[in-house]
């Protein structure tokens, strides 16, 4: 019999969104640059994409776009560098990848999650046959 434990990921996502609402009230436009597009490189399935409006502590309405995608990445692709256009919360669903963070290799396995800021280059290599990542992106409207 399973206990009555709530899965922490929805709570983490909500906390990240609320934190970002304050940060993005003073956000600047990101420059556009050249790296691979995940939708063209991997099998990407859109789970959700839509608007979200939050109110700051000062009562100001903040409009955001939220997107949830599943990236299925073939291990035979080798090292990949993807420009992340929007703030993104990643969660490994299955498989294993090696990411490059501040010049250090970091291994990510099932149920690991991390964030990548808007405009950053996300570099990784799939270890094994495939990896499945869930990407939750947040941007200003």
Distance CA 111, CA 122 (A): 18
- Extract the tokens encoding 89: 């919360």
Question: Phi, psi (5° rounding) for residue 102?
Answer: 50, 40
For the chain, domain boundaries: 30-140
Q: Regarding predicted confidence, which is higher, 87 or 43?
A: 87
88: helix, coil or strand?
A: strand
Q: Give the three-class secondary structure for 23.
A: helix
* Cα(105)–Cα(114) distance, integer angstroms: 14
CATH dotted code for 30-140 = 2.60.120.10
pLDDT tens-digit readout, 2-11? 454 555 555 4
Give tens-digit pLDDT for 44-76.
887 888 998 988 889 999 899 999 999 999 999
């Amino acid at each position: 019999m399973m206990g009555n434990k709530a899965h922490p990921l929805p709570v983490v996502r909500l906390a990240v969104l609320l934190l970002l609402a304050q940060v993005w009230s003073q956000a600047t436009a990101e420059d556009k640059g050249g790296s691979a597009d995940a939708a063209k490189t991997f099998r990407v399935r859109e789970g959700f994409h839509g608007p979200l409006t939050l109110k700051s502590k000062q009562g100001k309405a903040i409009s955001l776009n939220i997107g949830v995608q599943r990236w299925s990445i073939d291990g035979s692709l080798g090292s990949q560098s993807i420009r992340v256009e929007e703030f993104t919360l990643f969660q490994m669903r299955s498989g294993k990848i090696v990411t490059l963070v501040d010049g250090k290799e970091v291994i990510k396995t099932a149920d690991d999650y991390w964030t990548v800021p808007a405009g950053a280059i996300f570099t990784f290599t799939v270890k094994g046959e495939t990896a499945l990542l869930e990407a939750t992106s947040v941007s200003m409207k």
